[in-house]
Structure 1
Amino acid sequence: MKFFGYVFGLALLSAQANAITPPAGAESLAACSSVVVRKEVRSLSTSEWNAYKAAAHAAYNDRWIDWFGYLHDRIAMTIHGNSMFFVYHRALTRDYEKILRGYDPSVAVPYWNAMVDYQHPEQSPLFSADNLGGNGNGNGCVADGMPGSWMMNYPDPHCLCRKYSSGTTMPAWHSPEFITHVMQSSTTYAQLRAGVENSIHGAVHLALGGDMDTMHSPLDPIFWVHHANIDRLYAQWQAVSPDDRTYMIDGDGPNNVAADVNMLLTGTSKPAYTVMRLGYGDMCYTYDTIQAANGNADALSKRNTRKCIKRPNQATEAIKKLPPQVLQQFYPSFSNGTVNPLENEMTSITPNTPIGSNGTYTAPKPNEAMRGKMPVPMKLTDAWVKMQNACVEEVRDIESRAANMVEALNKANYLSPYLY
């Protein structure tokens, strides 16, 4: 087995980085000399996607995937359901990225914006035979895609397993509209953590089933692109107000001890502040969305040599037309006119965009027949809540908010641009 250092680091890259006052100890962390950019899977070129898949398969061959599955499983009860969630998984995903870059220094872990696939998740292009494979066969074994031949060794020898929670399909999960609500309504780290962990995070794991519905879920390559997306949401929320949020951490950590920047990442001697600012220490990465918000007009385009043409974002424009009382209740930043693009998940990415496409793509128009028919997202099962060491009341509150938002938007005859 090849070993590349298992190290944790620090993060948050923003245009206002110099104004941030680090906590004691963090000031010694140097700015990264180079920063890799994590992109949405649908914006990767063919060569970028193939390079990523090759590096991930090499990590599988060297049994790094088994290692990460073991590690996550061993400490699972301390890194979920509390304020350790964001900071620990940020460090874990960065460690995985460093392993991959040991095989190919050009590789960055892409993120999968699962929210835009929320209506029919099983139709996401990520699950095709050209990409990360789909549902398991009769025995639950993934038989196609990059991991189609994977045999895992932890916790016992078995094929990589997926079992969609509705048989051949998955129930609707949380929309860009709901995650935008979470981003705009969360004023503390603890609120954001509860809103994200107990919605799109849990829904993706539970709906995919198989290994993803366990605490050794890093065995499934979907885990990494999913958690890169979870980290992206955290990073964007920080970057909305970097002076206040870069080192904000509150709520309870493991064992009901109050979380703070000096809280040690589970199983390490590294304090939380070492992973809370992108672009510093070992956290030498950023996201294309943060680059775009900081003025790089080409950051979200497939070809950075081609200038983007700014067009009205149909998703954002649609939601801004909601009744004032609905905006005020669910989208305070839209309501008061202070919205930052980093707290707006109403993007122009669509579920059908090909991955690894070097050509042009024309997005389909929203289906008028779906006006006022947003689905309520799936609920997390009692078994999942228990496994995640989550607070039942916290989980059910998020589910109630999601259902209330859908009811309000449907009553307003809102047309989600993501329903086809």
Structure 2
Amino acid sequence: MIRRNFLTDADAAQKYIDGVRRLKDPAQFPWPGQDGLSIYDSFVFWHHQSMMLMTPPTQSDRNAAHSGPSFLPWHRYFLITLEGLLRQAVDDIEFRIPYWDWNADAELPEPVTSPIWSNANLGQFAGSDWRVRLEMSLRTGDLRRTDRTLQRALGDAGRLPTRTGVRMVIRDQAAYDTSPFSSSSPGGVRNLLEGWIGNERIHNSVHVWVGGDMSLSSSPNDPVFFLHHCNVDRIWAAWQERHPDSPYLPDMSAPDTLQFHRVDDALYSIYEDTVTPGDMVDYRRYYEYDTVSDLTELQT
């Protein structure tokens, strides 16, 4: 039950490719009640809806899964849910989503030449057989039906975060999150890792660097979304190893305006199960990573 590096484990990489292709096929994995859409497409809908649910609705920053404390546990839950479906698709109960170590690619003279973008790997999804069926309208912000190829703009904007910068965040940030628990929070690993503050702009910068569909609320259309967020989750796991006594915040004493973000609140879901941030804190209940030591070497 190990999550491994996409580029160093060919078996995990191929199973991921095969799995998402099967989940994307409405004939094999239909989304019940949604003609012509697949279970994979439901994750595009789910992610978009999470971004449209402002918490509270009187502001336009924090939503049910971003710009607030639940960013990390919500995406951990999101990944685990897809992971369970992928295990069915590839018929392997041990399968776990691999991660994209974009810190390594940041060290390349031209990160766009990384083998992850080859046609044998993620480059193949830019072909005509991978269809985007739901997209965010740039005019209205609504999700709409479409039928087109995947769009990317690798390296046109943003940059990939450096390993040194990530290590410094893990080493120096002892708090999980800080008031006002939004993109304006002056510290805490959540806001630094999400990328609203700090030199690296970690998570956000990768979305911008990939560009195209990854820059929209419908970003799970690109299969790299899940590999990217798996690496974000790995950084959170490394931080948890470094700061084992630092609790998830906020607790239930926080006001109702922080609904969906308090430790025992239900995370926003399109499914009937109830999962809380507290349920997501101990990642070892679900998987481990092949390594986090590459992220924790700055210990001084």
Length-normalised TM-score, structure 2: 0.73
Greater shift, 253-262 or 108-117, is seen at 253-262
| Equivalent residues, number | 244
Structure 1 residue 210 displacement after superposition: 1.7
Contact 2:131 2:150 in 1 (8 A): no
* Cα pair distance change 1:238/1:160, threshold 3 Å: farther
Structure 1 residue 278 displacement after superposition: 2.0
**Structure 1 residue aligned with 2:83:** 97
Q: Deviation string for 1:323-376 (max 9, x for gaps)? A: xxxxxxxxxxxxxxxxxx652389xxxxxxxxxxxxxxxxxxxxxxxxxxxxxx
* Cα pair distance change 1:57/1:195, threshold 3 Å: same
Contact 1:37 1:286 in 2 (8 A): yes
Q: Deviation string for 1:267-311 (max 9, x for gaps)? A: 36322211111233xxx2111115xx6xxxxxxxxxxxxxxxxxx
Which of 104, 114, 129 is the aligned partner of 1:116? Answer: 104
* Cα pair distance change 1:158/1:344, threshold 3 Å: farther
Residue 168 of structure 2 is aligned to residue 193 of structure 1: no
* Cα pair distance change 1:197/1:253, threshold 3 Å: farther
Structure 1 residue 170 displacement after superposition: 4.9
Q: Deviation string for 1:113-134 (max 9, x for gaps)? A: 1122125331221111110017
Which of 116, 124, 127 is the aligned partner of 2:117? Answer: 127
* Cα pair distance change 1:258/1:189, threshold 3 Å: farther
Structure 1 residue 192 displacement after superposition: 0.7
* Cα pair distance change 1:152/1:343, threshold 3 Å: same
Identity fraction in percent: 24
Residue 166 of structure 2 is aligned to residue 179 of structure 1: yes
Which of 283, 286, 291 is the aligned partner of 1:278? Answer: 283
Contact 1:126 1:132 in 2 (8 A): yes
Give secondary structure in 2 for the equivalent of 1:159: strand
Cα distance in 2 for residues equivalent to 1:160 and 1:71: 21
Q: Which 5+ residue runs of structure 1 have no aligned equivalent?
A: 1-35, 135-140, 294-340, 347-420
**Structure 1 residue aligned with 2:34:** none
Contact 1:164 1:208 in 2 (8 A): yes
**Structure 1 residue aligned with 2:44:** 69
**Structure 2 residue aligned with 1:203:** 205
Residue 296 of structure 2 is aligned to residue 343 of structure 1: yes
Structure 1 residue 257 displacement after superposition: 5.6
Q: Deviation string for 1:36-77 (max 9, x for gaps)? A: 1001112203x3322221111111113122110001001113
Length-normalised TM-score, structure 1: 0.53
Give secondary structure in 1 for the equivalent of 2:288: strand
Cα distance in 2 for residues equivalent to 1:50 and 1:257: 39
Q: Deviation string for 1:54-113 (max 9, x for gaps)? A: 111111113122110001001113211110100000000010111100122142100111
Which amino acid in 2 is paired with 1:56? V
Residue 70 of structure 2 is aligned to residue 84 of structure 1: yes
Structure 1 residue 232 displacement after superposition: 0.6
Which amino acid in 1 is paired with 2:227? V
* Cα pair distance change 1:173/1:53, threshold 3 Å: closer
Contact 1:79 1:254 in 2 (8 A): no
Contact 2:117 2:123 in 1 (8 A): yes
Structure 1 residue 258 displacement after superposition: 9.7
Greater shift, 217-226 or 71-80, is seen at 71-80
Which amino acid in 1 is paired with 2:87? R
Structure 1 residue 163 displacement after superposition: 3.3
Contact 2:132 2:150 in 1 (8 A): no
Larger RCO (CA within 8 A; separation ≥ 6): 1
Q: Which 5+ residue runs of structure 2 have no aligned equivalent?
A: 30-37, 52-62, 135-143, 178-187, 196-200
Contact 2:3 2:98 in 1 (8 A): yes
Structure 1 residue 248 displacement after superposition: 2.5
* Cα pair distance change 1:81/1:254, threshold 3 Å: farther
Between structure 1 and structure 2, the one with the greater Rg is 1
Describe how 1:296-315 pairs up with structure 2 within 5 A: none
Contact 1:38 1:285 in 2 (8 A): yes
